């Protein structure tokens, strides 16, 4: 049984595309057949995060308009043969596709893939409804900031009104040092305010910047963010994995240096 999952947030810049790339790659590492769809028509980015920007010939709008077959537009990942990307069009806008067309496109992919991940554009206009219309479930990404949580609340309200079956929250870019000294809302604070199921928490990690520079998702690598994304991929598949306790995984040296800094 394949699943269509939309990754959305409302606010821009909270990590939708990074999350899509890493959760998708994580599912592929776990042996699933995965396709990532960039639905941000006019502002495509997922190709760059995946490091596949030089291989684009056809795009999502070409498929919808019948300029090519689906197989011609799908790009196979560099590292994982069961992972594909359907890139967005850069020279068109959101009105090039309707929600019905997008739903049909996602539906057509069910036959060949276990997971169809839709990277949603920011905002709540047509691009959002395009991405949401064909999805079975939603992952809402937020950061522990007032503006991002406010937008996430609005998005959750819209998804509930649209009868979305499953809505799960990802809290991104947590800085445990700031949470500890009370200068950042904790994951528990965010869950309490949004009253929604949490599927993962990702620490703010330099290695994300490095991996995006290189165009290679870091899921499954040694970094904390890489582990956090792998855990999310496993939970998406239905595995029951408790939330990470980053304090324990912190090295002795890191703990010592933070102790000295706060002394």
Partner 1 sequence: MSIWPGIPKQASGAIARKRLKLLLVADKTDCSPEILEKMKDDIVHVISNYIEIDKDGIEIQVVQSRSIPTPKRGPVIRANIPLCRGSGQPVYTVPTKRT
**Closest CB to partner 1 among 21 and 169?**
169
Rounded Cα distance between 118 and 6, Å, is: 5
Contact range with partner 1 by CB under 8 A, out of 45-53, 75-83, 143-151, 232-240 = 143-151
Closest CA to 5 of 233, 241, 243: 233
Q: Does 195 bind partner 1 (CB under 8 A)?
A: yes
Stretch 152-191: interaction string toward partner 1, x if CB under 8 A? -xx--x--xx----------------xx-xxxxxx--x--
Minimum distance from CB of 154 to partner 1 (Å)? 7
Minimum distance from CB of 164 to partner 1 (Å)? 11
Phi, psi of 87 (to 5 degrees): -75, 160
Applying CB under 8 A, which of residues 112, 145, 166, 177 lies at the interface with partner 1?
145
**Closest CB to partner 1 among 41 and 199?**
199
Q: Does 198 bind partner 1 (CB under 8 A)?
A: no
**Closest CB to partner 1 among 53 and 166?**
166
Minimum distance from CB of 30 to partner 1 (Å)? 30
Residue 189 Ramachandran class (φ > 0 left, ψ -120 to 50 alpha, else beta): alpha
Minimum distance from CB of 161 to partner 1 (Å)? 8
Size of the site for partner 1 (CB under 8 A): 23
Minimum distance from CB of 195 to partner 1 (Å)? 4
Q: Provide the b/e sequence for 152-180 (b: ≥16 CB within 10 Å).
A: bbebbebbeeeebeebbbbbbbbebeebe
Please report how the helices 206-214 and 224-236 are oriented relative to each other, as an axis angle in degrees rounded to 10: 80
Rounded Cα distance between 145 and 212, Å, is: 23
Minimum distance from CB of 95 to partner 1 (Å)? 28
Applying CB under 8 A, which of residues 146, 253, 260, 263 lies at the interface with partner 1?
146
Instruction: Write out the residues near partner 1 by the rule CB under 8 A.
Output: 144-146, 149-150, 153-154, 157, 160-161, 178-179, 181-186, 189, 193-196
């Amino acid at each position: 049984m394949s699943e269509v999952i939309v990754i959305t947030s409302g606010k821009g810049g909270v990590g939708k595309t990074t999350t899509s790339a890493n959760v998708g790659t994580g599912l592929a590492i776990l042996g699933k057949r995965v396709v990532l769809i960039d639905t941000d028509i006019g502002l495509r980015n997922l190709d760059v995060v995946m490091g596949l920007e030089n291989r684009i010939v056809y795009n999502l709008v070409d498929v919808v308009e019948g300029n090519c077959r689906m197989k011609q537009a799908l790009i196979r990942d560099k590292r994982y043969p069961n992972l594909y990307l359907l890139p967005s069009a850069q020279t068109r806008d959101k009105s090039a596709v309707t929600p019905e067309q997008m739903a049909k496109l996602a539906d057509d992919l069910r036959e060949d893939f276990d997971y169809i991940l839709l990277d949603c554009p920011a905002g709540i206009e047509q691009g959002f409804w395009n991405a949401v219309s064909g999805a079975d479930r939603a992952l809402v990404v937020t950061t522990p900031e007032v503006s991002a949580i406010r937008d996430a609340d609005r998005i959750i309200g819209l998804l509930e009104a649209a009868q979305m079956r499953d809505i799960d929250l990802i809290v991104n870019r947590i800085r445990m040092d700031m949470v500890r000294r009370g200068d950042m809302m904790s994951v528990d604070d965010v869950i309490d305010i949004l009253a929604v199921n949490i599927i993962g928490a990702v620490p703010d990690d330099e290695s994300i910047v490095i991996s995006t520079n290189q165009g290679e998702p870091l899921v499954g690598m040694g970094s904390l963010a890489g582990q956090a994304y792998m855990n999310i991929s496993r939970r998406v598949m239905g595995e029951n994995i408790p939330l990470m306790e980053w304090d324990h995984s912190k090295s002795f040296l890191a703990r010592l240096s933070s102790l000295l800094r706060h002394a």
